């Protein structure tokens, strides 16, 4: 008797359930008599000794020995995961070569949200009168006479009485108990609340986007406009149109946790804030957002990359702001680029995607030029605001004083800004005090015990820290190698050290240092950013945190301490990245019409990146970059995949990587480079080797890598293999 007839004999309904594990396919489960499930239902299933939440997937339940089948325990009272979202999970898994279960895991990140939010206890007037009237009672009854349901505490607060007054009335039957639906996490956005009148190119760009939303269907538009040109205003119109149509909208923003100003602006435009989604949300808030997104009650989410995996019921538009930003790339478990996956999401569901940037990625620009994306350009800043005048300071000719890092020219410019009552920003993309500490006597260098990296001194914290694994140790007085006291020297600057130098030049200025490792976390950072925007600081010293999206009206000088910093790391995108980051950070200056300057401290003033920044000729820079990519067959003219093999011993990692290399199939349009020891050869005690797969543009690089992994040695012992399709990092 075969299995089919067996299951029909017992009349079993078997369904596939995708569980949040590195499983390649859904597992089969029996649907118990009387239970109703459909594709997309979120269910609780037994798995070994555990119980996990999974998603009922599509297709039949597969062929499993009925004796081994286990039953679904529970169907959660939760809207099912929609069909397009299920296809998205499949496609993301196929694209990134990740187990679908691990992609589903990203969707199921808020387990407590699978159950409905509890109803709130409320009170309505019953019509019965109280035994006697007091002033407090009168106020309460007057308020409650609106006939609506009130909460006990809400009513007390509104009437300015104590809870005992309410309870007393309740005890006399003046109120009936009712249940109130849980409050929405954000109010509904009003698409016509506070529209700006758009001018010139803004109007055309907005019209185009609104039409795309109105017509529906998939499209990708690159909204390419300099900082301050009004890109946000423009895509707000597209959002308004989607909201009018009752659809949901996702705006991806890098560092959303820090851009409170964005939420305020959204509020000014729509009369309500969007729901936020990022890793710093309180767990309870996360659950409520997840739930209300699933129910379709939340219309607009502004979130970090993981918001792409929220269970939208009817997503109708995704905007990816600062689409070039490296923060969109996740390099953990499932390696994906949220920008690219957003386009995929739009393609599957058939809605428009907007990619906004002042410095688009080369990939997106090429896609626009070649017609795969549409493009709308905003070429000037809004109103009287002029872009800052960018100049390079040749550090060979204007070197800093001994032991310092600031050229006299930069100090002088800052002095002028501060004297005018304006703000200056010093930008250095390096946290801490000094990136390296060494002993002047024996040359000992402080290295992380589990990574191939130097320990960074953090003087505020009094610690030496590893930026790769988090290892921290107190800074000793004596060299651990030769024992000499007080001969340890910091080498090179981090923001804390620059701050020290600035304070020595500007003892009376109000300075703020901003970097992501500041004590006090996101809350503190938000406050500091507000303080800067309100003019409560004269000088700001910051890492890339300050580069992103903030509007500091009084900032007229941006000084880049080390413009060459990002150029030297052997990354094929080094020039592009440096151009983007420095454009963005200098773009913080001059947002309100005052004359402003960006000064770049560099030892390579003739480098194409510096020239492009100084001349403002982005076009020429992009053409050059595009040309180089084309010659090198690099993305988007070719395809790359990184394979990272790590293990607790170097030999294991290397042997495994070699084994994979040997099992590479033959394909004329694809070649494999390596294995080579990774530039970061050791992270958190794991040795790392890299392979790089390089293919022609149309090559099936995923198919190739999949075959390599299937044929090659299996992960054993401590060996782990990570696949990074379209890698951004080569470390």
Single residue of 172, 196, 447, 484 touching ligand ADP by CB under 6 A: 196
Q: Which of 71, 75, 60, 77 is nearest to 32 (CA)?
A: 71
| 323 lines the binding site for ligand ADP (CB under 6 A) | no
- Choices 22-30, 298-306, 444-452, 482-490; region in contact with Zn ion by CB under 5 A: 444-452
Q: 430: closest CA among 398, 404, 467?
A: 467
* Cα–Cα distance for residue pair 520/570, rounded to 1 Å: 35
Stretch that binds Zn ion, among 269-277, 442-450, 562-570, 660-668 (CB under 5 A): 442-450
Q: Which does 198 bind (CB under 5 to 8 A by kind): Zn ion, ligand ADP, none?
A: ligand ADP
> Which residue, 437 or 554, has its beta carbon nearer to Zn ion?
437
**Burial of 277 by CB count in 10 Å (0-12 exposed, 13-18 middle, 19+ buried)?**
buried
Residue in the block written with tokens 């705006």: 251
Shortest distance (Å) from residue 229 CB to ligand ADP:
4
3-state secondary structure of 647: strand
Q: Where are the alpha helices (DSSP H) in 535-607?
A: 574-586
Residue 223 binding partner per list ligand ADP, Zn ion, none, with a CB distance cut-off of 5 to 8 Å that depends on partner kind: none
Q: Report in angstroms how near the CB of residue 657 gets to Zn ion at its nearest.
A: 22
Shortest distance, position 429 Cβ to ligand ADP, whole Å: 20
Angstrom distance (rounded) from CA 587 to CA 582: 8
Q: Where are the beta strands (DSSP E) in 289-383?
A: 300-303, 315-321, 329-332, 334-337, 352-357, 374-378
How far is residue 559's CA from residue 715's CA, in Å, rounded to a whole number? 48
| The residue to which tokens 């094929």 are assigned | 572
Which residue, 423 or 728, has its beta carbon nearer to ligand ADP?
423
Q: Of ligand ADP, Zn ion, none, which one sits near residue 466, judging by CB under 5 to 8 A according to partner kind?
A: Zn ion
Selection from Zn ion, ligand ADP, none that 152 binds (CB < 5 to 8 A by kind) is none
x-marked contacts with ligand ADP along 381-410 as a string, rule CB under 6 A = -x----------------------------
What are the structure tokens assigned to 672, written together? 């494999």
Owner of token pair 């020039």: 575
Which residue in the set 41, 161, 220, 229 belongs to the binding site for ligand ADP (CB under 6 A)? 229
Query: In the bound complex, what is the minimum distance in angstroms from residue 521's beta carbon to ligand ADP?
Result: 26
* Contact partner at residue 229 from Zn ion, ligand ADP, none, CB < 5 to 8 Å by partner kind: ligand ADP
233 touches ligand ADP (CB under 6 A): yes
Pattern 136-175, binding to ligand ADP, x per CB under 6 A?
Answer: ----------------------------------------
Q: For the chain, first and last CA: distance in Å?
A: 56
The answer to the question of residue 199 lying near ligand ADP (CB under 6 A) is yes
Let me know: does 690 contact 643? Beta carbons within 8 Å: yes
Q: Which is nearer to ligand ADP, 226 or 597 (CB)?
A: 226
- Which residue is associated with the tokens 């997503």? 315
Q: Which of 337, 328, 505 is nearest to 418 (CA)?
A: 505
231 or 548, CB closer to ligand ADP? 231
Is 396 exposed, middle or buried, given 0-12, 13-18 or 19+ CB atoms closer than 10 A? exposed
Residue 196 contact, options ligand ADP, Zn ion, none, Cβ 5-8 Å cut-off depending on partner type: ligand ADP
Q: Rule CB under 6 A: is residue 230 a binding residue for ligand ADP?
A: yes
The strand pairing partners of 487, in sequence order, are none
227 binds ligand ADP, rule: CB under 6 A: yes
Q: Which does 468 bind (CB under 5 to 8 A by kind): ligand ADP, Zn ion, none?
A: Zn ion
Rg (CA), the chain: 29
Identify residues 462-491 at the interface with Zn ion (CB under 5 A): 466, 468-469, 471
Residue 503 has φ and ψ, to the nearest 5°, of -60, -35
Tell me which stretch binds ligand ADP (CB under 6 A): 231-239, 415-423, 605-613, 664-672.
Answer: 231-239
Estimate the crossing angle of helix 231-244 against helix 260-270, to 10 degrees.
Answer: 50
Nearer to ligand ADP, 354 or 647 (CB): 354
Q: Would you say 57 or 235 has its CB closer to ligand ADP?
A: 235
Q: How far is the CB of 514 from ligand ADP (least distance, A)?
A: 20
According to the binding rule CB under 6 A, does residue 543 interact with ligand ADP?
no
DSSP-assigned states of every residue in 262-299: HHHHHHHHHSSPPEEESTTS-HHHHHHHHHHHHTT---
Cβ neighbours for 428, distance < 8 A, ≥ 6 positions apart: 493, 494, 495, 498, 541, 542, 543, 560, 561, 562, 565
Q: Determine contact, residues 347/87, Cβ cutoff 8 Å.
A: no
- What number of other Cβ atoms are within 10 A of residue 570's Cβ? 9
Min dist CB 244 to ligand ADP, Å, is 20
Question: Are 453 and 680 contacting, i.e. CB atoms less than 8 angstroms apart?
Answer: yes
| In the complex, minimum distance from the CB of residue 299 to ligand ADP, in angstroms, rounded to a whole number | 21
Q: Which residues contact 23 (CB under 8 A, 6 or more apart)?
A: 99, 100, 101
**With CB under 6 A as the contact rule, which of the stretches 172-180, 227-235, 335-343, 402-410 interacts with ligand ADP?**
227-235
Among 51-59, 273-281, 449-457, 524-532, the segment contacting Zn ion (CB under 5 A):
449-457
- Indicate the residue among 262 and 309 with the shorter CB distance to ligand ADP: 262
Number of residues that bind Zn ion (CB under 5 A): 7
Q: Which stretch binds ligand ADP (CB under 6 A): 21-29, 208-216, 228-236, 395-403?
A: 228-236
Structure tokens at 143: 């308020």
Neighbours of 278 (CB within 10 A): 18
Task: Rule CB under 5 A: say whether 599 interacts with Zn ion.
Answer: no
Using the rule CB under 5 A, give the single segment among 231-239, 458-466, 573-581, 632-640 that binds Zn ion.
458-466
What is the smallest separation between the CB atom of 640 and ligand ADP, expressed in angstroms?
A: 31
d(CA 468, CA 454): 10
Residue 300 or 660: the one with the smaller Cβ distance to ligand ADP is: 300
Binding segment for ligand ADP (CB under 6 A), chosen from 194-202, 282-290, 298-306, 599-607, is 194-202
**H or E segment to which residue 496 belongs:** helix 495-505
| Angstrom distance (rounded) from CA 645 to CA 99 | 17
Among residues 20, 228, 635, 695, which is the contact residue for ligand ADP, using CB under 6 A? 228
Cβ proximity to ligand ADP, 286 vs 548, nearer residue: 548
Q: How many residues contact ligand ADP, by CB under 6 A?
A: 15
CA 570, 390, 494, 484 torsion-angle sign = positive
473 versus 500: smaller Cβ distance to Zn ion: 473
Is there a contact between 274 and 300 (Cβ–Cβ < 8 Å)?
yes
Nearer to Zn ion, 205 or 683 (CB): 683
> Which positions lie near Zn ion, rule CB under 5 A?
448, 450-451, 466, 468-469, 471
> Which positions lie near ligand ADP, rule CB under 6 A?
196-199, 202, 225, 227-233, 382, 551
């Amino acid at each position: 008797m075969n299995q089919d007839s067996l299951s029909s004999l017992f009349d079993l309904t078997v369904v596939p359930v995708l569980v949040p594990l590195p499983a390649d396919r859904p597992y089969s489960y029996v649907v118990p008599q009387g239970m109703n499930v459909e594709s997309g239902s979120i269910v609780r299933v037994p798995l070994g000794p555990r119980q996990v939440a999974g998603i009922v997937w599509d297709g039949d339940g597969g062929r499993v020995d009925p004796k081994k089948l286990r039953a679904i325990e529970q169907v959660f009272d939760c809207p099912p995961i929609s069909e397009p979202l299920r296809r998205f999970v499949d496609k993301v898994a196929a694209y990134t070569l990740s187990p679908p279960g691990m992609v589903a895991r990203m969707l199921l990140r808020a387990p407590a949200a699978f159950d409905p939010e509890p109803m709130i206890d409320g009170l309505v007037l019953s019509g019965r009168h109280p035994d006697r009237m007091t002033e407090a009672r009168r106020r309460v009854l007057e308020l409650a006479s609106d006939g609506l349901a009130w909460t006990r505490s809400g009513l007390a607060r509104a009437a300015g009485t104590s809870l005992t007054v309410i309870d007393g009335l309740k005890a006399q039957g003046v109120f009936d108990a009712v249940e109130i639906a849980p409050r929405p996490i954000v109010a509904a956005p009003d698409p016509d609340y506070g529209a700006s009148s758009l001018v010139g190119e803004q109007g055309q760009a907005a019209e185009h986007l609104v039409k795309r939303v109105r017509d529906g269907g998939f499209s990708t538009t690159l909204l390419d406009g300099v900082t301050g040109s009004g890109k946000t205003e423009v895509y707000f119109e597209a959002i308004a149109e989607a909201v009018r149509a009752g659809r949901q909208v996702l705006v991806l923003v890098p560092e959303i946790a820090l851009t409170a100003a964005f939420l305020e602006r959204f509020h000014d435009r729509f009369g309500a804030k969007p729901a936020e989604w990022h890793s710093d949300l309180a767990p309870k808030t996360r659950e409520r957002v997840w739930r209300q997104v699933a129910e379709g009650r939340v219309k607009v989410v502004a979130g970090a990359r993981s918001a792409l995996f929220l269970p939208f019921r009817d997503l109708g538009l995704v905007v990816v702001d600062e689409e070039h930003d490296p923060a969109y790339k996740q390099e953990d478990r499932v390696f994906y680029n949220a920008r690219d996956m957003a386009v995929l999401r739009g393609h599957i569901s058939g809605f428009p995607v907007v990619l906004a940037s002042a410095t688009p990625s080369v990939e997106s620009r090429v896609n626009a030029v070649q017609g795969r994306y549409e493009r709308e350009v905003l070429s000037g800043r809004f109103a009287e605001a002029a872009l800052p005048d960018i100049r390079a300071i040749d550090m060979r000719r204007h070197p800093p004083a001994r032991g310092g890092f600031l050229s006299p020219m930069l100090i002088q410019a800052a002095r002028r800004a501060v004297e005018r009552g304006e703000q200056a920003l010093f930008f250095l993309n390096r946290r801490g005090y000094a990136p390296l500490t060494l002993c002047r006597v024996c040359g000992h260098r402080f290295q992380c015990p589990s990574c191939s990296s130097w320990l960074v001194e953090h003087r505020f914290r009094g610690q030496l820290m590893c930026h790769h694994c988090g290892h921290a140790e107190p800074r000793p007085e004596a060299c651990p190698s030769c024992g000499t006291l007080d001969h340890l020297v910091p080498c090179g600057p981090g923001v804390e050290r620059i701050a020290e130098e600035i304070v020595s030049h500007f003892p009376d200025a109000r300075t703020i240092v901003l970097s992501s490792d500041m004590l006090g976390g996101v809350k503190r950072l938000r406050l500091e950013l507000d303080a800067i925007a309100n003019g409560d600081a004269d000088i700001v010293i910051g890492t890339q945190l300050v580069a992103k999206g903030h509007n500091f009206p009084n900032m007229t000088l941006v000084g880049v301490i080390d413009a060459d910093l990002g150029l030297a790391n052997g990354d094929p995108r080094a020039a592009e990245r440096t151009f983007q980051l420095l454009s963005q950070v200098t773009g913080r200056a001059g947002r309100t019409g005052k004359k402003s300057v960006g000064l770049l401290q560099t030892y390579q003033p003739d480098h194409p990146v510096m020239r492009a920044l100084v001349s403002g000729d982005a076009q020429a820079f992009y053409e050059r970059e595009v040309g180089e990519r084309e010659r090198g067959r690099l993305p988007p003219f070719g395809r790359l995949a990184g394979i990272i093999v790590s293990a607790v011993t170097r030999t294991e990692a290397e042997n495994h990587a070699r084994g994979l290399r040997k099992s590479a199939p033959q394909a004329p349009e694809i070649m494999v480079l390596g294995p080579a020891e990774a530039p970061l050869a050791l992270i958190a005690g794991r040795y790392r080797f890299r392979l790089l797969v390089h293919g022609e543009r149309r090559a099936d690089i995923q198919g190739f890598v999949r075959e390599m992994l299937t044929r090659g040695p299996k992960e054993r012992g401590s060996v782990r293999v990570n696949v990074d399709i379209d890698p951004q990092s080569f470390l």
